[in-house]
Amino acid sequence: MRIKPLMISLAFCLALIAAPAAYAQGGIKTGPDPSTLRDPDLEKDSLHNLEVARNYFKLKKAYVASLRRCEEIIAGNPNFSKIEEVLLIAGRSSLSLADNKGKQAPSLYSKATTSEEFRDMGRDYLTKLVKEYPDSPYAKDAQDDLKTLGTKPGP
């Protein structure tokens, strides 16, 4: 008869000891942060697209092709490890198209896109880079480009 109360007392003590440890674990996440999870195949594809976009931008001055490659990366892999460089190239390609620079006519992107729309696109990409990735090595370049653009005129 003495064993039953002893077992109940022992179970109660164990519950008291284990409760704080279980409570302390209540706030943990159920896994790693989803923004850091990267699909290796998607990363490889995005890296290839970035290299091609970089080549189009720097060597060939094909700003429409460069912008399209960057947009493909941004749409398909927003968690890409080198998204900051993608945003910079997309912004600068858009600004170059706004100024009708390069070897491709801006109308290849879209016949309806105006210089002002390209300028707004460039401003948006560069602003996103500066706001979302302020510690990026490309943020200073984006800030400099935004300063040369000046402020957007109001309606």
Nearest partner of 53 among 70, 74, 34, judged by Cα: 70
What is each CA distance from 25 to 18, 30, 44, 45, in whole angstroms? 11, 11, 37, 39
**pLDDT number for residue 29:** 58
Q: What is the CATH number of the domain that holds 141?
A: 1.25.40.10
- Domain annotation covers residue 6: no
User: In this predicted structure, what is the pLDDT of residue 18?
Assistant: 63
* Position 108 in a domain: yes
Residue 11, domain member (yes or no): no
Total tally of structural domains belonging to the chain:
1
Residue 143: which residues within 8 A CB-CB, separation 6 or more? 130
- Does residue 57 form part of some domain? yes
Query: What SS3 state is found at 94?
Result: helix
Asked if residue 50 belongs to a domain, the reply is: yes
The confidence score (pLDDT) of residue 15 equals 64
Which residue from 136, 145, 57 is spatially nearest to 103, judged by alpha carbons? 57
- The one-letter amino acid code at 14 reads L
For residue 12, is it within any domain?
A: no
- 99 in a structural domain: yes
Q: pLDDT digits over 99-112, tens only?
A: 999 999 999 999 99
What are the residue ranges in the chain where pLDDT is below 70?
Answer: 1-2, 5-7, 10-36, 151-155
Q: Which domain holds residue 144?
A: 39-149
Q: How far, in Å, CA of 50 to CA of 40, rounded?
A: 15
pLDDT at residue 137, rounded to an integer: 97
pLDDT of residue 27: 57
Predicted pLDDT at 34: 57
Is residue 3 situated within a structural domain?
no
